[in-house]
Amino acid sequence: MFISIKNAIKTAALCLVMSLAASVNAQSKIIKIAYGANNYISYNLTSGLYNVYQKGETVFTHISASAVVNGQNLSTAKYTNRAYAKAAVNTGFGKGVKHVVTLSANGLPTMQQVFYTYNEGSFYTQLIIKGKAISTNNMVPLEGGFKQISGNVYSLFMPFDNDTFISYNAKQFKGSEKVTSAEVGAVYDNNTRGGLVVGSVEHMVWKTGVTTAAAESNAIKVVAGYTEEGVTRDKIAHGMVSGSEVSSPLIFVGYFADYRAGLEAFGKANRIAQPPFVAKWTKPTPIGWNSWGVIQEKLTFDKAIKVADFFADSLRGFRSGNTAYIDLDSYWDNLLTNKNGERDFSTLKEFADHCKAKGLQPGIYWAPFTDWGFKSGPDRKMEGSNHTWGEAWTKIGSQYHELDGARAIDPTHPGTQARINYMIDHFKACGFTMIKIDFLGHAAVESTGFYDKGVTTGMQAYRKGMEHLIKRIDGQMLIYAAISPSLASGRYVHTRRIACDAFKSIKDSRYTLNSVTYGWWQSYVYDHIDADHIVFSTESEGANRARLLSGVITGTLMTGDDYAADGPWKARAKQYLQNPELLKIVRNGKAFKPVDGNVGEGASSIFVNKIGKCHYVAVFNYTNKEATFKLIAKRLNIPAKCSVTEILGKQNLGSFRDEMEVSLLPADAIIYRFDPDK
C-alpha cells in the first residue's frame, strides 16, 4: 500500500465509522460502486464477481481475485461470506472513497478486495490476505474478461527494464495471441485509439505481469509475483511475501477513448502512488555530453578537457539554464592514479574544477550493484570495507546471478553499502554534480537469500539499495539512470534513459523511438526521459537529423561525439545544437506523443507535442527508400487551420488546411511547428 493512502486510512479510521452495507450467504445482492462520470463497478456479493461499466457500456466482465497462500489456492468465488463497507479517504489522488469487500469462510484466511474510487475515469483495486502466518508469491488482484474491441486491435508488450536491447512490441490481438506485459498492459484499436489500460502503480515489493489473451473471449489476468528470465531477468521464482497481512500492489484499471491518455494517466498515477524518494529536481531540463558515445575506453584527461573546452568555446548556445553537463562514462578510472597504495582522485577533481570554471557541470558514471571483476575470484576486498566481493554476490541457490558480463551483488549487504559510501563520498569531494548510474536491474533480481533477512523479494532489495544510494548522494547531484527497471526507478532518479544504448545510425534512432512510441508516458513517471547519447559521427546529414530529433522529441539532449578530435560532427553540432527553436522544445522537457501504435517492434513515423499554443510534429523515415507521409489535423489533434514552419531549415511553408503531405529522403527526419491562425 502506498504511503499517502496508508496515512489517509489511519486518519479516516479515527474520524469515520465504516458503514456496513451487507453480509450475504445465499441471497443475491449487487453493490454499485461509482467512479468518475457515469462509471461504476457492479459487485455481486453472492458470487464474488464484478463487472465494470463505463458510460453505459460493459468494459470488464466476471472479474475475480485469487492467491496461492501457504500452498493453497484461494479465490473470491470460493468464499461463502462476503461483507461490504466503505469510508471516505483523502490521498495523493485527492478526495475519494475506499470500498472494502471482506470475504470469510471456515478454515480460510480472510480475504479483502479493496477499491479506491475518485472523480476520474479509472479506479484502483488491491487484494489483501489476513491470517496468522500468511506466505505467498502469487497474488491475482484482477482476473476476468473485457469488452470486444473491434478494428485494428493490438496488445502491447512492455519490458520490465531497458536491458539487452529489448524492445516494446505491439502485437495484433487476434486468434491465439497471448501477451504478458511487465507492470502494465494495454489493448487498443489503433484507428479509434479506444482501449484499456491496467497495471501496477506500486513497485517496492512485487513484480507484476499483465496477461491478455484474445482466444479466451478477451481475457485479462494481473499477477503479482511475475518472473520471466527474458523479461525480469530472474532465474528463480519470485520471492515469498509473508506476515499476518499481505497486500498485492495497487492496480490501476481503466478503459479510455484514447489509450494514450490512459497510459499518461497511469504514468501520473505511479508518481502519486510512490512519490519521489530522490531530492526534488528544480533546475531546467538537463542537456550535455557523455563520453560513451564515441570515446568509450579511450577516455583520457586530455580528451575530457578538450571536450569541455569545445562546449565552452564553440557551443556557447547549447545551454539549458545557462549550463550543460560534461559526463565521464565508464573508463573514467583511466584518470585515476595510485598514491601510497590508495586510489588518487585528484585528476578527476581537476577535471571537475575545470568544467565549473568554464561554466559547465561535471558528471561521472558508476554501476553500484555489479562486480565486473568476478572472474578474478571472490577474495578481493570491496572498496571502503573489509568485506570481500564473494560475500556480497547475489545468490541463486548454489550459483550466482550474472548478466551483461557482470555478477550481481546483494544491495542489502554491508559491503555493498560501504562501497556505495566510499565511492559517492569521493565523487562528491571531487565536485561532481551529476551521476549516471547503470545496470540497476542487477539489484532487483530474485535471490534465494539476501543479507537482510527482512528482505525476501527482488523489489524489496532494490528499494533498500537505491534508498541507501540516494541518501548518500544527499541531493547534491542530478541522478540519471541508464539500464534500470522501467517503473520502479521513478522514485530514485531525476532522468532515465528510455531504451538501451543507441549511437548514430538510423537504426539506432528507430530503436530508441520504439521505446518512445510505447513508453513516452514515462515522462510523467520521471522528471525527464532521455534518448541516450546523440552521435553524428560521419553518418549522412539525414541520419544526423533523425538522430538529433530522436533526442529532441524524447525530452532531453545528451550528445556523444568525440569533440576532442576534428571531424564533420563539429560543424553539425554547431549547426544543430544551438538551434533556438530546438532548444525551446528540449527545455519543455516532455516526450512527444506517438501518432500510431501499430508498428510491432518498430517505431511510429510521426510524433506530436503541444507546447504553449503551438503544436510540434516530427516525421521520420526509417527506410532506405524515399517515403511520403500524410499529416492529418484530426489524427494529429491539431487545429485544422494553421501556419506551418519547418524548424531546421527555418522555412515558413505558409498555410495548413486539414492535411498535408511530407516527402522524406531515405533515412531522414523533419520537424514542423504549427501555429494556429489568429
Crossing angle for the helix pair 541-552 and 568-576, nearest 10 degrees?
40
Rounded Cα–Cα distance for residues 363 and 432 (Å): 5
**pLDDT number for residue 215:** 83
How far apart (Å, rounded) are the C-alpha atoms in residues 351 and 360? 11
Q: What pLDDT sits at residue 521?
A: 98
**Does the CA dihedral 223-486-498-490 come out positive or negative?**
positive
In this predicted structure, what is the pLDDT of residue 28? Answer: 59
Give Rg (Cα) of the chain: 26
Domains of the chain, each with CATH number or no CATH: 3-273 (2.70.98.10), 287-377+417-594 (3.20.20.70), 606-676 (2.60.40.1180)
Helix (H, G, I), strand (E, B) or coil at 122: strand
Residue numbers in the chain where pLDDT is lower than 70: 1-28
Tens digit of pLDDT for each residue in 472-529?
A: 999 999 999 999 999 999 999 999 999 999 999 999 999 999 999 999 999 999 999 9
* Cβ atoms within 10 Å of 645's Cβ, excluding its own: 19
C-beta of residue 362 within 8 angstroms of C-beta of residue 434: yes
CA–CA dist 581, 673 (Å, integer): 9
| Amino acid type, 528 | H
pTM, rounded to two decimals = 0.95
